[in-house]
Structure 1
Amino acid sequence: MFLTGPSIIRITASSRRAAGRALHTSQLAMAPIKVGDNLPVGDLFEDSPANKVNVCDLTAGKTVVLFAVPGAFTPGCSKTHLPGYVENADKMKADGVNEIVCVSVNDPYVMAAWGAQHNTKGKIRMLADPTGSFIKALDLGINLPPLGGYRSKRFSMVIKDSKVDKLNVEPDGTGLSCSLADKLKIK
């Protein structure tokens, strides 16, 4: 469950009459996370459904690079996005990054297999968001029917002590430009 997160905007519909009594409806709409916002509280999964990783615990008191991809084993993610972070992991850590995290709306077994294929052990933590709840809380999701429906937009962020310090979201949600490892400014 996500208890805190990006700014919330209340959109209220006018009162209506239904079955002889007033019915008031309202809907909560979230604004996308932005620089300066705290991360939402929530769990991701590493290696298996039994291994929960609380996002706020992971980022508390640390500098963390988190990047998200539309899908594990997809061409752009496998040929360009993830390999760039693997190649730049040592440099990022030398620049003060404590953890590098890859998130995707996939199951934890898929993320573990994808990480093993790209030799991420000790460099990048491969975390799954099986239901997309973390990505929804960030309001950085996108509907991609060819990939199974709801997925993450492609983005990267620098998080300092659970607060977004830098954020790069691909303009079309899926491209490979501003969210690449070599475009992310740590300091």
Structure 2
Amino acid sequence: MAIQIGDKLPAASFKVKTADGVKDVSTDDVFKGKKVVLFAVPGAFTPTCTLNHLPGYLANYDALIAKGVDTVAVVSVNDVHVMGAWAKATEGEGKIVYLSDGIGAFTKAAGLDIDLSGGGLGVRSKRYSALIEDGVVKSLDIEENPGVATVSSAEAMLEKL
């Protein structure tokens, strides 16, 4: 079952690519004591993720921060090197935190995994957005179809803030 509004995020470890190499970060490192907009994509470099979902968060980054958000983060079941390359290719470095959930441990613990094997992707994350305050889910919007980004868009998130 998926996490619900009011639930604390499951404890997990992510990997991020930094100028100094690969770094492990925990859910506490990312969310504790902060107001975080988290959005998830089924795959870095995939069409909807790269051409629709992520660009909205990049374009609205300053507006999200102006609404009191401390961090904007994206999570995907991709390895850290793919997420690092995606950050660089999309010019999101230094704005959005690109969290690699390489084996899907966080995604599965949150109950937000989806089997996209039919499309050749394997087990990935559902597409969603969430407002997290001090590690607690305040809003959660999950797309019914992983190929669209409407309820989980940056514009939809801005309306909630």
**Residue of structure 2 in register with 1:33 after alignment:** 3
**Cα 1:86–1:148 shift into 2, 3 Å:** same
Q: d(CA) in 2 for partners of 1:82 and 1:96?
A: 20
CA RMSD of aligned residues (A): 1.4
TM-score w.r.t. the length of structure 2 is 0.93
2: CA distance between counterparts of 1:94 and 1:179? Answer: 19
- Residue 99 (str. 1) matches residue 67 (str. 2): no
2:96 corresponds in structure 1 to 124
1:85 is the counterpart of 2:57? yes
Would you say 1:163 and 2:136 are equivalent positions? yes
How far is 1:123 from its partner? 1.3
Structure 1: which 5+ residue stretches go unaligned? 1-30
Q: Which runs of 4+ in 1 moved over 4 A?
A: none
Displacement of 1:147 = 3.9
Distance 2:78 2:55 in 1: 18
> 1:45/1:139 Cα in 2 relative to 1: closer, same or farther (>3 Å)?
same
> What are the equivalent positions in structure 2 for 1:115-154 lying under 5 Å apart?
115-145=87-117, 146-154=119-127
Asked whether the 8 Å contact 2:22–2:80 carries over to 1, the reply is: no
Separation in 1 of the partners of 2:121 and 2:107? 15
Q: How many residues align?
A: 157
1:68 matched to which residue of 2?
Answer: 40
CA contact (8 A) 1:71 1:147 kept: no
Q: Which structure is higher in helix share?
A: 2
Identity %: 42
